[in-house]
């Protein structure tokens, strides 16, 4: 009962300044890199640039089922050409003789000498002849290059296919496979120790005495961290005993890359995280953000520590505003949140001195509807939301129809 | 070499009509439901409605560190009140006597009799006294309800907390935890057999002969399906041998919920999937979509089958347009794609008869930049994209600045 408000001298840090501090802290994260099979690379960040070892497509090929031709054979009015051996996908065709047309399948290699494809629908007859039986086909005038996918037209051998730090999702891994690569160099998943604090906090499923609340933070952050590709060690809930918290951290620290605590960081009494860690390598302060103002940051036994406030929405906002984007920037994983502009469905007010982060539902017409008020305890409203709505510092009132930046969750 | 274009009588199906067929096919998906610990429910769909078993917050509590008061004690000019025992979070406080103020921490229960909280910053002195030592505090006039979070103000006991079919991400699981629920009823992950076909297709890492290409589809779809929460059995690449394909499907069918094939579905010769499955419970046809026009759909040995075209971008677009939204609708998982409006950075053309799906990069200013052309082989351009851009049937030309619907990948 002898805590006091922080010295107001410095004032709260801006969101950007605090994110910079988190970035500086995590720049030293001891994360391994290694080469893994593509299937294990899903959701990871690329550890170095990938140069294309071959052209894509690897060779000129047909965009359609049709006839490979020499365009010079087809005058403006077209011509009747003799049909040669068909070219299936995967075959290495013989050169196309002048005055002939080769049936060719989508994706099949353009025969040497041929420079265009006429789709089967434009041929007379519009059905391929039986292979081996002599046949001719009438084809219209065709420009060189028609329906041909040129070698290297998607990417040329020797150019950069993906940059270091790229998030590896289905499209990126599909590209690596198309380039013939069976493995990818990636940053491994950091391991995070997650500690929820508070005498008032009870595990879901246990009986709830008067004055207590169920622990939402462990589940919320555990899910968020795992969805972001991190490995999580859950230390459970610790009571408001600084010595017990310190012992718990000391036991786990050697096995983890990062420690996250929730609760116990504000200006009240009984702030267990503050009591255990202040002056032992962790600084506590205030960020000009609502919710999520009180924040702690530093190291414990050499391991980076982030101390988030105790309300569930504050935890989520702290994760999304500080940890997640910093990890994306440093390791290429998780995928960056997509930011869009949307129009407010209703007016809002926000403390002008703070960056307010509201929760809302983004609809396909480009409107965002706020879910619940600004309160950091509104976990039901959070569960109805699919987006974070940003009201930057300096803005106190917005009207319905005003544009805001929205992050897609 | 005796295939011919599909009878044109019916014409291609619309995207919506084909999606309806996929939905009807998968409505019979034999997916189990079961109750799992919250940690295992991440990414799954909720199998039934959840009713809140308690209020959230469970009791009226303080939004600030400050003093719990009876607002009637504080006239307009405020008053000097005697300080009583402090109320930490988690405690069940005694009733507050008239004329007294109780130090109270954020989240702590409002004592019976109290109806408002004065933040510590507004108190004189603005520091809590040592517990046990007699003290008074001067507090300003305060309206009833100030800084009090009312019981049930987030959600009231007995009301629906989440609807059946809700995707369970961090926010939703956090809510269930806050409600004291340790488990959730979910739909299990369907198991998908993934078969890539084509004589021209080679596994990444193997040598590439002339005319062959590396298999991007297996990696692309395997990643996409796993990211969507499905369990994937990869059957590898089969050559263009209908009997071998049929044997492979027969071997795997009893162990899977759904079969997906890629390649071998179009109008050319050597269409192995068509040859193996047409007339055996699978229909092949054309959808008015670019890319991804040729599609097959039906059952094999009682197991639903979707046959996607062979180009990588066609595969991804088929998955995103048909399978993914249908699974979301039926099972609540994967999470629905967020759709937004964006302005085109550059003009585009599209075949008016088809729904064109382009790939692009959505930037925070609300602009979308197309990556690469319309070609379904452009896997490098796909890897640079973070969004699908929709040009519905009936639209042939769009100008820079025109608004389009965009799905965030």
Per residue of chain A (409 residues), give pLDDT as tens.
Answer: 343 444 444 689 999 999 999 999 999 887 899 999 999 999 999 999 999 999 999 999 999 999 999 999 998 889 999 999 999 989 999 999 999 999 999 899 999 999 999 999 999 999 999 988 899 999 999 999 999 999 999 999 999 999 999 999 999 999 999 999 999 999 999 999 999 998 899 999 999 999 999 999 999 999 999 999 999 999 988 888 999 999 999 999 999 999 999 999 977 667 899 999 998 899 999 999 999 999 999 999 999 999 999 999 999 999 999 999 999 999 999 999 999 999 999 999 999 999 999 999 999 999 999 999 998 899 999 999 999 999 999 999 999 999 999 999 9
DSSP A329-385: HHHS-SPPPPEEEEEESS-EE--TTSEEEEEEEE-TTSEEEE-S-S-TT-HHHHHT-
Q: What angle, rounded to 10 degrees, do the helices at B15-26 and B324-331 form? A: 50
| A55–B contact, CB cutoff 8 A | no
CB contact under 8 A, B65 and A266: yes
Q: Tell me the pLDDT tens digit for each residue of B194-236.
A: 999 988 999 999 999 999 999 999 999 999 999 999 999 999 8
- Which residues does B46 contact at the CB level (< 8 Å), separation at least 6? B162, B163, B164, B165, B166, B167, B168, B172, B184, B185, B186, B332
Contact B404, B366 (CB under 8 A): no
* Minimum-distance CB partner of A182 among B5, B205, B210: B205
* Chains A & B: contacts with CB separation below 8 Å: 359
CB contact under 8 A, A227 and B177: no
Which residue segments constitute the domains of chain A, with CATH numbers given? 15-32+188-331 (3.40.980.10), 34-53+163-186 (3.90.105.10), 61-149 (2.170.190.11), 339-408 (2.40.340.10)
Residues B265-271, mean pLDDT to the nearest whole number: 76
| B244–A contact, CB cutoff 8 A | no
Distance of alpha carbon A72 from its chain centroid, rounded?
49
CB contact under 8 A, B58 and A268: no
- Rounded to whole angstroms, the Cα distance separating B276 from A128 reads 20
How sure is the predictor about B389, in pLDDT bands with cuts at 50, 70 and 90? very high
- Which residues does A314 contact at the CB level (< 8 Å), separation at least 6? A291, A292, A293, A308, A376
- Rounded to whole angstroms, the Cα distance separating B81 from A361 reads 45
Please report, for residues A320, A388, B389, the alpha-carbon distance to residue A407 in angstroms, rounded to integers and kept in the order given.
Answer: 9, 5, 19
Q: Tell me the pLDDT tens digit for each residue of B147-192.
A: 999 999 999 999 999 999 999 999 999 999 999 999 999 999 999 9
- Rounded to whole angstroms, the Cα distance separating A200 from A194 reads 18
What pLDDT is stored for residue A77 in this prediction?
A: 86
Contact B37, B182 (CB under 8 A): yes
The A residues from 75 to 134 touching B (CB cutoff 8 Å) are 86, 88-93, 103, 105-109, 120-121, 126-131
- Chain A nearest C-alpha distance from B339 (Å): 5
What pLDDT is stored for residue B7 in this prediction?
A: 43
How sure is the predictor about B306, in pLDDT bands with cuts at 50, 70 and 90? very high
- What ipTM was reported for this prediction? 0.94
* Minimum-distance CB partner of B56 among A3, A222, A380: A380
Quickly count helices (H) and strands (E) in chain B: 8, 27
- Chain A nearest C-alpha distance from B405 (Å): 8
Output B239 or A171, whichever has higher pLDDT.
Answer: A171
- Rounded to whole angstroms, the Cα distance separating A200 from B89 reads 5
B214 contact residues in A (CB cutoff 8 A): 177-180
CB contact under 8 A, A208 and B54: yes
Residue B23 has φ and ψ, to the nearest 5°, of: -65, -45
What pLDDT is stored for residue A9 in this prediction?
A: 47
- Rounded to whole angstroms, the Cα distance separating A164 from A185 reads 9
| A407–B contact, CB cutoff 8 A | no
Nearest of B99, B124, B127 to residue B114 by alpha carbon: B99
| B36–A contact, CB cutoff 8 A | no
- Rounded to whole angstroms, the Cα distance separating A238 from A109 reads 66
Q: Which two tokens stand for residue A401?
A: 């129809």
| B7–A contact, CB cutoff 8 A | no
* Minimum-distance CB partner of B386 among A54, A154, A338: A338
- Rounded to whole angstroms, the Cα distance separating B317 from B309 reads 10
Among chain A residues, the shortest Cα distance to B94 is held by A211
What pLDDT is stored for residue A117 in this prediction?
A: 98
**Exposure letters A214-246 (e unless 16+ CB within 10 A, then b):** bbbbbbbbbbbbbbbbbebebbebbebebeebb
Percent of chain B residues past pLDDT 70, beyond the cut: 97
Task: With residue B326 as reference, give the H or E element that holds it.
Answer: helix B324-331
- Rounded to whole angstroms, the Cα distance separating B228 from A30 reads 30
pLDDT at residue B2 tops 80: no
A386 C-beta neighbours (distance < 10 Å), count:
20
Nearest of B202, B241, B234 to residue B218 by alpha carbon: B234
- Chain A nearest C-alpha distance from B270 (Å): 7
Residue B61 has φ and ψ, to the nearest 5°, of: -140, 170
Q: Which two tokens stand for residue B140?
A: 């300003």
Percent of chain B residues past pLDDT 90, beyond the cut: 89
**Exposure letters B156-193 (e unless 16+ CB within 10 A, then b):** eeeeebbeebbbbbbbbbbbbbbbbbbbbbbbbbbbbb
Nearest of B105, B78, B80 to residue B91 by alpha carbon: B105
* Minimum-distance CB partner of B171 among A208, A316, A366: A316
């Amino acid at each position: 009962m002898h805590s006091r408000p922080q010295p107001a001298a410095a004032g709260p840090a801006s969101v950007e300044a605090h994110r910079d501090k988190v970035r500086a802290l995590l720049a030293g994260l001891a994360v391994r890199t290694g080469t893994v099979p593509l299937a294990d690379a899903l959701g990871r960040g690329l550890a170095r640039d990938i140069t294309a070892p071959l052209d894509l497509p690897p060779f000129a090929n047909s965009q359609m089922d049709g006839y490979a031709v020499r365009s010079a054979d087809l005058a403006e009015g077209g011509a009747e050409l003799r049909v040669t051996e068909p070219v299936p996908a995967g075959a290495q065709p013989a050169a196309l003789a002048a005055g002939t047309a080769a049936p060719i399948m989508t994706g099949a290699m353009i025969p040497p000498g041929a420079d265009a494809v006429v789709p089967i629908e434009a041929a007379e007859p519009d059905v391929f002849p039986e292979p081996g039986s002599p046949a001719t086909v009438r084809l219209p005038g065709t420009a060189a290059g028609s329906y041909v996918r040129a070698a290297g037209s998607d990417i040329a051998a020797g150019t950069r296919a993906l940059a270091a730090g790229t998030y590896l999702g289905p499209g990126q891994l599909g590209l690596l496979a198309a380039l013939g690569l069976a493995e990818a160099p990636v940053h491994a998943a950091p391991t995070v120790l997650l500690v929820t604090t508070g005498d008032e906090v009870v595990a879901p499923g246990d009986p709830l005495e008067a004055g207590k609340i169920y622990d939402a933070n462990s589940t919320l952050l555990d899910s968020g961290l795992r969805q972001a590709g991190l490995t999580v060690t859950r230390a459970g809930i610790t009571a408001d005993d600084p010595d017990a918290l310190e012992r718990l951290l000391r036991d786990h620290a050697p096995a983890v890359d990062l420690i996250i605590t929730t609760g116990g960081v504000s200006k009240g009494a009984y702030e267990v995280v503050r009591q255990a860690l202040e002056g032992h390598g962790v600084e506590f302060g205030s960020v000009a953000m609502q919710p999520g103002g009180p924040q702690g940051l530093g190291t414990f036994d050499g391991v980076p520590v982030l101390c988030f406030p105790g309300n569930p929405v504050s935890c989520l906002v702290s994760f999304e505003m500080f940890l997640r984007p910093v990890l994306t920037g440093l390791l290429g994983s998780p995928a960056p949140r997509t930011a869009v502009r949307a129009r407010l469905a209703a007016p809002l007010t926000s403390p002008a001195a703070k960056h307010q982060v509201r929760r809302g539902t983004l609809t396909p017409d480009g409107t965002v509807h706020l879910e619940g008020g600004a309160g950091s305890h509104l976990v039901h409203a959070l569960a109805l939301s699919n987006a974070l709505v940003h009201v930057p510092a300096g803005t106190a009132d917005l009207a319905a129809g005003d544009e805001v930046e929205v992050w897609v969750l």
